[in-house]
Structure 1
Amino acid sequence: MRKLQPATQASEQIILQHNPFYSPAALSGTAFEDLVASFQSHVPTFKASPPGPRQSFRWKSDVVVGPGLGVFRRNRYTADWAVTKKATDERLSIILPIAGVADATIGTRVSTAPPFTALLAPASLSHHIKLRCVGGEYASVTLMFDVDVVSRVLSAIFDGAKLSKLDLTPLLDLSTGAGATFNLLAQTIVSGMLDARLFERSPLAMSLLVESALRLIFEHVPHRLSFRLNRDQLEVAPRYVRRAVDFTHANMHQPLTMIDIAEAAGVSVRSLQAGFRKFKDTTPTAYLRRIRLEAVHAELSLSENRLPVSEVALKWGFTQMGRFAAQYHARFGHYPSETLMWTR
């Protein structure tokens, strides 16, 4: 953590006051139960440990939800409290402390995130986070990336990787390098989400910003698959494989055949199969099945989903329910009915 001289601190505070993270919050109160209730419809199931009975507690908070992302911005508290989460989905929460400190146990890792540090907390890993005041105040911004966008970005970079298996390093320094770039992206995303008109004018731009922020995290924060980044740069898949991948993602809800994919890629079926084996370490059919399974898993993991498993499976091209359930279990380690049960 940088040690700032008094003059530098004053200058930095002036800059921060114009930061979108510091805009006034919409909600406030003194009852801890009201704070928890304000999160209930937007945050996956969590257990909150309230401040001590002798502590004076005031809070300010609001939630802005946008495409692929829920932004919990300008959270401010005057007493320590803690949150414990355990979910089964692939959401990623990134906490950006502004004042105070976030002490976290994520999986088996214990970390402390002061200001100018991002705390990366995958929802699928059990974690306990204590929000600790310094000078009587804790304040932060939290970006929560949805299941589908996390899966899409990870699949584009690491073909089928799961966030829960990535072992992502939990801390990112925001003062230099990739961290500073991510901080600017986060500020831009928050500014755009605070201006509802931006959603109407350019929802695609917001989606691209969200995906760019995630891609930067997965490409620059150390994890188990970081070694593949250098290897993949040395052996880039040919254009026809990339065309096939793009076509498959765009049309995975359609009844695709190998001939359809090969024609879209502009090569023969045999060449397509050889290209996928060499550069994707799989077959086109297996690749299509995997991304369809991920789409089903993402939809079943949404708390707002009200469709039964069979309808979601049919929607994404699975017609034989027994075989689908077995393939789902092999991919995610549990059955689709269990995913649905955990989210309701």
Structure 2
Amino acid sequence: MVLPSSGTVNARIRNRTVAIDREAALALSVPDVSSISYSGRGKHGHITLEFEPAAVQKTLSAIFEGATLRSSELIPRLDLASPAGGMLRALGEAIGAGMHDARLRSEKSMALLGEAVLRLVFLNFPHGLSNRAQPHLTDATSRQIMKAVDFMRANMHQPLTLSEVADATGIGVRSLQYGFRRFRNTTPLAYLREIRLEAVQAELASPLNLLPIKDVALKWGFTHMGHFAARYRAAYGETPSETARLGRAEAKADRSK
């Protein structure tokens, strides 16, 4: 997938020329592309997102039972003027920032963002399965949601995706989302973010912690320090630096005893 930030992108896909500017994204399968070029008045810029076929197939199957990549066949030009398009652009920019800045790169966040892009595209943009009804949703039980919670807590240091949590729980992704809404009054991703914030808070408050705040945040999957700090303060009523300062003070007091 290519998202231009300036200039234009021209691609030859199955003997058809597709041209896009920053108002659209280009979705393509590499074997179908015979040529691609970039142009602009003195400059051009773009973000390119690459997805492994297995990851795309897994996400697609979670939405449309028995679907294949060939049957999905996305329309190459994805309009970014819609609300879903605006979200796609924001996700692409977040992934692009993580790819180009090692300080922001987090395997956890990249995996979650990648799955979010795929789900957003398949649920909101035209493709070969757009008119196909989604499979019947099986209601998740409270026991299954608790199993999902236990799995997330045991593996929150891993780059978890919704599909992996759903597979471990034995239900579909949509059922997982509805179950969290019903029994936890939140979404799976919001809950995962919450328990990762708890992990950050515990580590920063520990007298044994020697890592800088940014390193602790990245360790638990937070790549945007501004958003992280705002969420942390909203959750705990203090800044991460205040928590870390209290932890260091406790460590100093322990050493002076």
Q: What's the TM-score, normalizing by structure 1?
A: 0.38
Greater relative contact order structure (CA < 8 Å, 6+ sep): 2
Query: When you count strand as a share of all residues, which structure comes out higher?
Result: 1
Query: When you count helix as a share of all residues, which structure comes out higher?
Result: 2
